[in-house]
Amino acid sequence: MNETEILIPVEKQINILGRDYIVRKMSLAQNIKILRFIGSLQDEVRAKIVADVEGGKSDMAAILENVACEELPRVIGILLESSDDFSGISLEDFSEVALAITETNDFEKIFANFQKTAKNLKGIADSIKKLLSLPSLQK
């Protein structure tokens, strides 16, 4: 076991609503489902979240406050890869899910990789624009 595996375990077992679940690194499919879910939020909910964030609330607080009551059980189902009913989840159990997800996924590395990728893509796009020297692309 290397140092990274000690700091970021491959999987973690948690007990939620009396059942055991294994939390692993989130798959690409799980991430896509979460992103689709976020994208499908009603415009009204999105507007409330944006207003809350602009009003000084943290992103997570605004999302939880506006979505938690109705949609959080669905998110937990995606995170735990389960079709179980999580509508009665306690705050303590929810915190176990959040902790397990953040312990098994290196979000700092993921975000850093995407930031570097975006920077690289911008550099590539700028290079292509220069190579093509098309006036319409140099705006």
Is the pLDDT higher at 5 or at 112? Answer: 112
Single pTM value for the model? 0.63
Task: Write down the pLDDT at residue 22.
Answer: 95
Q: Around Cβ 101, how many Cβ atoms within 10 Å?
A: 20
First to last CA, the chain: 51
Task: Write down the pLDDT at residue 99.
Answer: 93
Task: Write down the pLDDT at residue 44.
Answer: 66
Task: Write down the pLDDT at residue 80.
Answer: 95
Burial of 86 by CB count in 10 Å (0-12 exposed, 13-18 middle, 19+ buried)?
A: buried
User: What would the pLDDT profile of 65-94 be if each residue is shown by its tens digit?
Assistant: 766 556 788 889 999 999 999 989 998 999
